Amino acid sequence: MTAWLRRAWWLFFRLAISTAAIADDNPLTGAAEHVAPAPPTHVIADVPYPQMAAMMDMNDAGRLGRLIVDQLEWRDGDGARGGVWDAQGWYGNDYDKLWVKSEGDWPSGAGARGRAELLWDRIVTRWWSLQGGARYDFGGGPGKGWAALGVHGMAPYWVDVEATAYVGSAGSLAVRFKAENDLRFTQRLILQPELELNAYSRPDRARSQGAGLADFAAGLRLRYEIRRELAPYLGLAWMRRLGETAQLLRGQGGDPDQLQWLVGVRLWY
């Protein structure tokens, strides 16, 4: 109560002072005189939105594109080395986008192997979009096509999540889950943890891949954003093959556990 009174008194006092300091020199200047504008002489016709947007030079339904090379790196360790890429690009409007993804590796002394996906992305909820389309695996055996359907979005705690199910020829199924996050040390020094899981309903011996949970990968990349669009990084990648996939690899004399250091650059436009 007293605090309120003090505040009211203070405001009154302030107002009194300020009003006294700058008094009306010219009380004749009008109060609340308002004259409505004349009606328009020329009225332009109402046209459909696209024409109107063109006339206004304003368009909230326009299309844009983006290309992100999230990983372009060299890995070395546990007896293996080679290049790795992970890139995405999109083109479209706020609601619908054509989405292209590709990731894979290029082991030293061997050919590239990886996958490419062509998806339609449609935002459906506050944080999630649906993605559907096709995937093609190349290298390390005969090419292989899949139909893809998944979700992409931002989970709580700013975790970027992709979860996709794939149906291959003859009804084989694959599931892929990927999550990553940005942790800021400074405005430009950013640590990006990443997790990835892959599972398959059927083995693919040409690719040394068994049925069931096939692999679990974790990455840790520390990047420095020279510009937002250009960030070199250092990091570690740990890959563990599981179940039948691990057995297949052991059978070939490989180690299902692989820890590699990596160096690369993140780019986008």
Which residues contribute to the site for other proteins (CB under 8 A)?
Answer: 14-15, 17-19, 21-22, 24-44, 46, 49, 52-53, 55-61, 64, 66, 94-95, 123-127, 129, 154, 156-158, 183-187, 228, 268
For other proteins, the closer of residues 149 and 183 by Cβ is: 183
Smallest gap, in angstroms, from Cβ of residue 250 to other proteins?
Answer: 40
Between 185 and 261, name the residue whose CB sits nearer to other proteins: 185
Task: Tell me the H-state helices in 187-242.
Answer: none
Residue 113 Cα distances to 83, 219, 250, angstroms: 11, 19, 20
Nearer to other proteins (CB atom), residue 40 or residue 79: 40
Q: Least distance in Å: CB of 70 to other proteins?
A: 13
CB nearer other proteins, residue 142 or residue 156: 156
Nearer to other proteins, 44 or 170 (CB): 44
DSSP the chain: -HHHHHHHHHHHHHHHHHHHHS--S-TTS-SS---PPPPPS--PPP--HHHHHHHHT--TT--EEEEEEEEEEEEEETTEEEEEEEEEEEEE-SSEEEEEEEEEEEETTS--EEEEEEEEEEE-SSSEEEEEEEEEEESSSS-EEEEEEEEEEEETTTEEEEEEEEEEGGG-EEEEEEEE--EESSSSEEEEEEEEEEEESS-BGGGTB-SEEEEEEEEEEEEE-SBTTEEEEEEEEEEEE-HHHHHHHHHTT--SEEEEEEEEEEEE-
Minimum Å distance from CB 40 to other proteins? 4
CB of 253: closest distance to other proteins in angstroms?
42
Q: Which is nearer to other proteins, 37 or 253 (CB)?
A: 37
The residue among 41 and 252 lying less far from other proteins, judged by its C-beta, is 41
Q: How far is the CB of 60 from other proteins (least distance, A)?
A: 4
Nearest CA among 247, 188, 173 for reference residue 223: 188
Shortest distance, position 45 Cβ to other proteins, whole Å: 10
Query: Min. distance of Cβ 16 from other proteins in angstroms?
Result: 10
Distance CA 202, CA 245 (A): 11
Q: What is the end-to-end Cα distance of the chain in Å, rounded?
A: 59
